[in-house]
Amino acid sequence: MPSPSSFITTPFLFCFLHLHLVFAGDPFVFYDWIVSYIGASPLGVKQKVIGINGQFPGPILNATTNWNVVVNVKNDLDEPLLVTWNGVQQRKNSWQDGVSGTNCPIPAGWNWTYQFQVKDQIGSFFYFPSLNFQRAAGGFGGVIINNREVIPLPFGFPDGDTTILLSDWYTRSHKDLRKDVENGVDLGVPDGVLINGFGPYRYDDSLVPSGISYQIINVEPGKDLRCTCFHVLLVFI
């Protein structure tokens, strides 16, 4: 027969465990990325582009303020790689910033795990490979940092979400472009602008060749679609 005291302590123990589970720390989100060359023809010219897990552009990194983001990046390119999180503040954590001088490059065939906490920043950012002009070949994607529920947004909850990633694009390889940059040769204007890795709609037969795939985003009248936009500029980052 239990003593009366154990009837009193059990609910307290339960409360303690419950609080412990809820407040044990900020949530974590984990990503495993394999960065490799894949084939794509966004402007109708076959190219070797940099994909992440076979996707071009790379997957959206979708987190909420205060979350800890862990990204295990495997470099399957033939060159060293660093991934930087453009605009995401790395407070007292600059060695996770993925730029030359704060991080050692990930050698070809190796992996490295980035870990950082997103804090007090709500909005859209993007990541890209920061070395060797690789961003001209891809390896980039969107970063969304959502608000926590305790911090309301100044607009109603949307009926849907869509993302638009715009990027300047050349049909030459990043290695060719890099040689020109190193030799002081002007790259000229990009060959086109990609939208989510796709080329333009054939709005004019004389300007846009046939056979280019484009993306269609469905919009329903009367519904709110939240559109998160990213713009990856090539030359002036």
Ligand X SMILES: *[C@@H]1O[C@H](CO)[C@@H](O)[C@H](O)[C@H]1NC(C)=O
Copy the structure tokens of residue 227: 């559109």
Q: What would the two tokens of residue 85 be?
A: 């999180």
Render the burial of 25-51: b for 16+ CB within 10 Å, e for the rest: eeeeeebebebbbeebebbeeebebbb
Question: Binding string to ligand X for residues 70 to 89, with x set by CB under 6 A, is what?
Answer: --x-----------------
Minimum Å gap between C-beta 125 and ligand X is 13
**Residue 146 interacting with ligand X (CB under 6 A):** yes
CB of 203 to ligand X, least distance (A): 27
113 interacts with ligand X by CB under 6 A: yes
Cα-based distances in Å from 126 to 62, 71, 72, 211, 213: 11, 14, 17, 29, 24
33 vs 133 by CB, closer to ligand X? 33
Q: Tell whether residue 120 is a contact of ligand X (CB under 6 A).
A: no
CB-nearer residue toward ligand X: 112 or 170: 112
Which CB sits closer to ligand X, 41 or 146? 146
Residue number closest to ligand X, CB atom? 113
Listed ranges 92-100, 108-116, 132-140, 181-189: which one lies at the site for ligand X (CB under 6 A): 108-116
Tokens at 214, concatenated: 């484009």
What Rg do the C-alpha atoms of the chain give, in angstroms?
A: 23
Residue bearing tokens 């399957």: 76
* C-alpha distances in Å from residue 201, one per residue of 53, 111, 210, 211: 26, 38, 10, 10
In the complex, the smallest distance separating the C-beta of residue 219 from ligand X, rounded to whole angstroms, is 16
Q: Does residue 130 bind ligand X (CB under 6 A)?
A: no
Q: Which of 68, 111, 171, 173 binds ligand X (CB under 6 A)?
A: 111
Site for ligand X, residues 13 to 72, rule: CB under 6 A: 60, 62, 72
Q: How far apart, in Å, are the Cα atoms of 94 and each of 66, 82, 171, 173?
A: 17, 13, 34, 30
Q: Which token pair is 90?
A: 């790395």
**Using CA of residue 172, residue 135, residue 40, residue 35, what is the dihedral sign?**
positive
**CB neighbours (10 Å) of residue 93?**
13
Shortest Å, Cβ 73 to ligand X: 8
19 versus 229: smaller Cβ distance to ligand X: 229
Among 78, 120, 159, 161, binds ligand X (CB under 6 A): 161
Binding region for ligand X (CB under 6 A)? 60, 62, 72, 111-113, 144, 146, 161, 163
